[in-house]
Amino acid sequence: MKTAVVGATGMVGRTMIQVLEERKFPVSQLIPAASERSVGKEIIFNGKAVSVVSVMEAVEEKPVFAIFSAGASTSKEWAPAFASNGTVVIDNSSAWRMEKDIPLIVPEINSHVLKKDDRIIANPNCSTIQMVMALAPLHRKYKIRRLVVATYQSVTGTGVKAVDQLENERRGIKGEMAYNYQIDLNCFPHGGSFLSDGYTTEEQKLVDETRKILEDNTIQVTATVVRIPVIGGHSEAVNVEFEKDYNLDDVRFLISQFPGVIVYDNPAEFKYPMPIMAHNRDEVFVGRIRRDLSREKCLNLWIVSDNIRKGAATNAIQIAEYMVSRKLV
């Protein structure tokens, strides 16, 4: 099964290739593609060196899947070219997520909407994926009315340049800046680009994508995105207001039974999720589960996941796995 990875030399692209290998996805030929400056570089896959090709060359190979992590502009330009050749595109950028006829998929939640003729499929934003993984089983039973979200996001969400900035600052080295400000020993309430209403694009994604994935446009969402100097993964403080009252033991059970989610929550033993725990893992961890004592039918959760793994690469590969298992390709 020919599989292209577009953006193969980037942080997420390399992890996608790693996940394909780890999960033994049935790749007959890996086609790593990237920008012209990366053409000719070598990627190791299943112990063998594979040369990076241009995106045009990857299109001409007519792969079964093209898994993108190369930015929205590249996706807008090249995803239709792959799709017109019959390739199934799974795109990790924001380019297609809110298009009406493009499915936005977290396989554990809404894979049922995928169809055989889908040729472009959107992978949600990393912060959205981990949040809805914890919330989906609760929404089905209690119906979510409103979410108040604060994210504490790893610099890996910005990419290699941001990781380099953090590491340079810790070594006292002056280098290229990914952010407007120092990130080490600091945090700033800014992710994405600012919109005219004062929110950012990263915050708006949490609103729009949550509604689309959970298939409920009545859910009210307000979010604040914060970038912090960690590498392991994203963390989120989520306050949930339900239409129905809930039982706390039932909440714990529902979350713990959901595939891919682990409840790690025992304050008496100082057990709660942290980015360092989630690093290089695919699970979503949930802790600090407690009733909001200030308001009826409200719940507080702390949700942590590796934004490069389940938040991007692993979720994309899981979509491909579902398509293969259901004979949709």
Q: Is 165 exposed, middle or buried, given 0-12, 13-18 or 19+ CB atoms closer than 10 A?
A: buried
Per-residue pLDDT at 76 = 98
- Tell me, yes or no, whether 153 and 302 share the same domain: yes
Token representation of residue 227: 């970038």
CA angle 39, 316, 91 (to 5 degrees): 60
Token representation of residue 28: 């007959």
- Tell me, yes or no, whether 143 and 275 share the same domain: yes
- Tell me, yes or no, whether 252 and 266 share the same domain: yes
- Tell me, yes or no, whether 152 and 96 share the same domain: no
126 an active-site residue?
yes
- Tell me, yes or no, whether 113 and 140 share the same domain: no
Q: Give 194's strand partners.
A: 200
- Tell me, yes or no, whether 142 and 51 share the same domain: no
* Secondary-structure breakdown of the chain: helix, strand, coil percentages, each rounded to the nearest 5: 35, 25, 40
Q: Alpha-carbon Rg of the chain, whole angstroms?
A: 20
Overall number of domains in the chain: 2
| CATH code, 157 | 3.30.360.10
- Tell me, yes or no, whether 106 and 19 share the same domain: yes
- Tell me, yes or no, whether 94 and 167 share the same domain: no
The H or E element containing residue 85 is none
Q: How far apart are the first and last CA of the chain?
A: 10
Per-residue pLDDT at 243 = 98
Q: Is 137 exposed, middle or buried, given 0-12, 13-18 or 19+ CB atoms closer than 10 A?
A: buried
Which is the catalytic residue, given 126, 139, 187, 298?
Answer: 126
Structural domain span for residue 52: 2-124+312-325
Which is the catalytic residue, given 112, 139, 234, 279?
Answer: 234
pTM score of the predicted model: 0.97
- Tell me, yes or no, whether 10 and 156 share the same domain: no
| CATH code, 27 | 3.40.50.720
Digit-by-digit pLDDT tens for the chain (329 residues) are 999 999 999 999 999 999 999 999 999 999 999 999 999 999 999 999 999 999 999 999 999 999 999 999 999 999 999 999 999 999 999 999 999 999 999 999 999 999 999 999 999 999 999 999 999 999 999 999 999 999 999 999 999 999 999 999 999 999 999 999 999 999 999 999 999 999 999 999 999 999 999 999 999 999 999 999 999 999 999 999 999 999 999 999 999 999 999 999 999 999 999 999 999 999 999 999 999 999 999 999 999 999 999 999 999 999 999 999 999 99
- Tell me, yes or no, whether 56 and 182 share the same domain: no
Per-residue pLDDT at 299 = 98
**Residue 6 DSSP symbol:** E
